[in-house]
Structure 1
Amino acid sequence: MKIPLFIFILLSLFSLNATGQKLYKFQDKQGIWHFTDKPPKTAQKVEVRQMKAANKQLVWLLQSGEERQPSFYIRNDYAGPVEVEVDFAEQENVRSTPELPKRFVIESGKSDTLFEIGGINQQASWRMALKYRYTIGSPLAQYYSKISYLPPLAPGATFQISQAFNGSFSHTDEQNKYAVDIAMPVGTPIHAARAGIVMEVDNDFYKGGVNKAYSAEANNIIILHDDGSMAIYAHLELEKAQVYPGLTVAAGQLIGYSGNTGFSSGPHLHFAVQVNKGMELVSVPFTFADREGQAQEPSYGAWLKGFIHPDG
């Protein structure tokens, strides 16, 4: 007798990326309207509409093996590691090897088999549902920044810090507690404050304002450093990213342009250093380096000046 197996994968995602596109509309010489998501090759006037960015999934829990004893692995489409926690959402006459819940650190790409599922009493039916959540970055329970960061500005550019650590407007949660906002016009060049690998790029959001509904709609670039920390550059300009996931960037390299996307009261760059602590992305204190190499803790009202990195 074949015992039916029911497998449901339930998603509980901590991090989503997004992609958006444009709609092009034009009327040809015969008066016929055309609509396309690709830039048309025409001399006619083209209307362009920015479409709402849609979330896309970058971490997948996938099944392989026999139906009666399936195994599971994870595909990680980020350009760096993620920590994933898998558990049963529903469990009846079934067990896993190794036992769940369990956390796994998955490098970019496809993992090996992580666990297998099987029935306890083979003469009885069994069913289950799995759930998983993830956080980008390898887990770093204890982390302290040991280096100072370059101001993320072009050489010679000078801008003022409009919100520093523990800022009351938007730096009140763990992800942003130790962030700084640097006021600057839209379109200001943004440079990498430290060398690393581009982990993630959001480039398609086009709205911004003080409505918290915009909180998840800031264009940003996340760069993974060699010690496992990650710098986030947020509120960037629509479609102006100069880097892509997986690219290695040098300190001082141009990566994008400032904007006013997401939860924002005005054009600025939001910069923070974050790590994965206990399956949560948290910000950590850091310092900026001045031209003499001295470490300066960011403070409200302070002026930052970009300079050429000595290794650049």
Structure 2
Amino acid sequence: MLISLLLISSTVAAKKLYKYQDQQGRWYFSDKPPATEQKVEVRQLKPAANQRVWLEQSGAKENPGFDAINQYPGPVEISVDWGEHDGVTATPPLPQRFLLEPGRSKNLFTVKAVDQTVSRRFTLQFRYMIGRPLPDYVSTTAYLPPVAPGGRFLVTQAFEGDFSHTDVQNRYAVDIMMPTGTPIHAARGGIVLKVENDFFSGGTEQAFADKANSIHILHEDGSMAVYAHLALEKALVHPGLQVQAGELIAYSGNTGFSSGPHLHFAVQVNRGMELASVPFEFIDADDNTFVPRQGRWLLGINAPP
């Protein structure tokens, strides 16, 4: 019986290459910072895929069961389907979606032969999405502007902006113009779910569309805030860390699909195995809420006690 798995994942991890000479002039290459006083050349290598969710087979080979491992510190939804199958069935039937909490799941499904006397083969394919499914979510929480108290920055693209806020994932996002290296603060407290920290370039070509450094923070109601286009290796948080509203989490940059240094901020939910942005409001120093508009200045405020 042939078993093959296909994974769709977007998590990445990058490395650096260090090139240096010793005192005798011999060249060395390493993926770790060398302990040397000689001049060291550093090259940022392209990030590579880093798998964080996968299926695992358990039980008897003739009647295999499958569970899953979720290494995110929050829930993910996984969709499993046949690649191809001949002479087998699954219980429960495939395709099927499952909600995975962090860690290892219980048995999700079992595959068995329709007829033990004939040959059988199958392949499985699956994909996953961070966050629990929230098809009817509506935001009821006001967010702090994601900048340091006293900071003042211009909203250059708001909800349904015609430059890049035209798809489901970004429709209700805001772009906030700021110099590279500007401190970024959590707009709401939660658990850091995902961090992309290793991308080092940006531009307006489509090749940069999925290459923005970002942080996803999971809130108690299941929504997630995304802070994107962050600076290379400047994230100050890691997955699993609990952060408070107003806490310093990173520094702005110009990575990914970007026409200039800015912060891209959105509130998203898992809707139909797709990240969907949802409308939200910011709060000002007088406790008034407002919908961010293009051309409005955002003023950083202190988090309430």
The aligned counterpart of 2:242 is 248
Query: In the alignment, which residue of structure 1 is the partner of 2:162?
Result: 168
Determine which of 195, 205, 225 is the counterpart of 2:199: 205
CA contact (8 A) 1:84 1:135 kept: yes
- TM-score, with structure 1 as normaliser: 0.96
SS for the counterpart of 2:2 is strand
Please tell me whether residue 306 in structure 1 is matched to residue 300 in structure 2: yes
Partners in 1 of 2:238 and 2:258 — Cα distance? 24
* 2:5 is equivalent to residue 9 of structure 1: yes
- Aligned pair 1:43/2:37, yes or no? yes
Residue identity in the other structure for 1:90? E
Shift of 1:10: 2.2
Q: What is the 5 A alignment of 1:101-140?
A: 101-140=95-134
Secondary structure of the 1:300 match is: coil
Distance, in Å, in 2 between the alignment partners of 1:20 and 1:120 is 45
Q: Which residue of 1 aligns with 2:264?
A: 270
2:42 aligned counterpart, secondary structure: strand
- Distance in 2, matches of 1:28 and 1:280, equals 51
**Structure 1 position 296 matched with structure 2 position 299:** no
Partners of 2:57 and 2:281 in 1: CA distance: 45
Q: What is the deviation of 1:127?
A: 1.0
Q: Name the structure 2 match of 1:159.
A: 153
Q: Is the 8 A contact 1:82 1:134 kept in 2?
A: yes
Residue 70 of structure 2 aligns with which residue?
76
- Show the counterpart of 1:214: 208
**Amino acid in the other structure paired with 1:16:** S
What residue identity is the alignment partner of 1:9?
A: L
Over the matched positions of the two proteins, sequence identity in percent amounts to: 58
Assess if the C-alpha contact under 8 Å between 1:16 and 1:58 holds in 2.
no
Q: Could you tell me which runs of 5 or more consecutive residues in structure 1 were left unpaired when the two chains were aligned.
A: none
Structure 2: how far apart are the matches of 1:8 and 1:43?
49
Residue 136 (structure 1) shift: 0.8
Q: Which residue number in structure 2 is paired with residue 30 of structure 1?
A: 24
- Residue 146 of structure 2 aligns with an amino acid whose one-letter code is P
* Equivalences, count: 305
Number of the residue aligned with 1:99:
93
4+ long deviations beyond 4 Å: none
Gaps of 5+ in 2: none
Deviation at residue 47 of structure 1 after TM alignment: 0.9
In the alignment, the residues of structure 2 paired with residue 176 and residue 170 of structure 1 have an alpha-carbon distance, to the nearest angstrom, of 7
Aligned-partner SS, 1:67: coil
Aligned to 1:85: 79
Whether contact under 8 Å (1:88, 1:129) holds in the other structure is yes
The answer to whether residue 48 in structure 2 is matched with residue 54 in structure 1 is yes
Moved more, 20-29 or 174-183: 20-29
The superposition leaves residues 133-185 of structure 1 with CA deviations (integer Å, 9 ceiling, x where unpaired) of 11110000101000110000001111000100001110000000000000000
Deviations 1:225-273 (A, max 9, x none): 0000000000000000000000000000000000000000000000000
Question: Of 180, 201, 204, which residue of structure 2 is paired with 1:186?
Answer: 180
Alignment partners' CA distance in 1, 2:64 and 2:265: 43
2:39 & 2:155 partners in 1: Cα distance?
Answer: 42
Aligned to 1:177: 171
Q: Could you give the per-residue CA deviations for residues 214-234 of structure 1, whole angstroms, max 9, x where no partner exists?
A: 011100000000000000000
Is the deviation greater in 85-94 or in 138-147?
A: 85-94
3-state secondary structure, aligned to 2:62: coil
What is the CA distance between 1:100 and its match in structure 2?
A: 1.3
Inter-partner Cα distance in structure 2 for 1:55 and 1:163: 31
Q: Give 2:187's aligned amino acid.
A: A
C-alpha separation between the residues in 1 aligned to 2:177 and 2:81? 43
Deviates more, 1:227-236 or 1:100-109: 100-109
* Contact 1:10–1:131 under 8 Å retained in 2: yes
1:142 corresponds in structure 2 to: 136
Q: For 1:10, give the aligned amino acid.
A: L
**1:108 CA displacement:** 1.3
Counterpart secondary structure, 1:231: strand
